[in-house]
Amino acid sequence: MAVSGKSLVLGVFGDPVAHSLSPQMHARFAESTGRDTVYVPFHVRAEGLETALEALPSLGIGGVNITVPHKEAVYRLLPQHSEAAAAIGAVNTVIVDGEHLRGDNTDADGFRADLAAQLGHTGWESGPVMVLGAGGAARAVVHALVAAGVPEIVLANRTPEKGQALIDQLAPERGRAVALASAEVQEAVGRARLLVNTTSLGLKGERFEGLDLTALPTTAGVYDLIYNPARTPLLREAEARGLAVANGLGMLVRQGAISYARWTGAEPAVEPVLEWLAHELGA
């Protein structure tokens, strides 16, 4: 689509950001909705983050996504937040309303929507659900699981104290934290209806030490937020057992589509973008 002075400018702040597939993804959102938008990657370093945010209204930019490593910093810099952003403590979408900026977070909604689309038949809503990791991505996942009504969440992390702090904040009445590679982990794995990896383990072919998936029930599902490679060792092991599996590509596209809808009021088609992106990544 041609860019003109009437185009609504959107974008993404990150450091680094040159590798981002979001501009191509949002170009396809624009095509599917017929909206005149252009999406620009902005390489913003930490020292320039506040200035870049303050400039958005003056530049006429309608909104930006926030990616690594700025999500928590942007949360602290903005005075207004959506309920999701406030609960997660991070912002991945900035909405510009006149001179005002509001921080939002579409990661949890994107994860929840993709989980329902990819693994809806596994009955994960009845729990228990095991979450691996206690970082920012885990916060979005736990928030989504609580919103979905999952009655029991077990968070496994190398440092259980960090995991428990997350649980105490987001799921105090339905969660607990355990240490990775512990007997408690294997007991929880044996009951889990869903296992979600929110860590970077598997990005370079690493395996989880002390995590035995053979204990997972045959009806369980496994979701790995990593999408490149499309099949991490965790997913390959689960697939070999005949378990339902999914990677995070759908979450990436769906959270982007939700951001686009909140900026423009138009809901883009998701499936064509998913197919294109999977082809681009050789999935």
For the chain, how far is it from start to end, CA to CA, in angstroms? 27
> Which residues share a beta bridge with 196?
131, 223
Active site residue 71: yes
Q: DSSP class of residue 5? A: T
Give φ, ψ of 218 to 5 degrees: -65, -15
Exposure on the CB side of residue 261, measured as CA atoms within 13 A: 14
> Which residues make Cβ contacts (< 8 Å) with residue 67, sequence separation at least 6?
12, 13, 14, 17, 20, 22, 92
User: Which residues in the chain belong to E strands, given as ranges?
Assistant: 8-14, 37-43, 61-66, 80-81, 93-97, 100-104, 129-132, 153-157, 175-179, 194-197, 221-224, 244-247
Q: Tell me, what amino acid is at 273? A: V
CB 62 within 8 A of CB 35: no
The DSSP string of 175-217 is: EEEEETTSHHHHHHHTT-SEEEE-SSTTTTS---TT--GGGS-
3-class secondary structure, 31: helix
Q: Which residues participate in catalysis according to the annotation?
A: 71
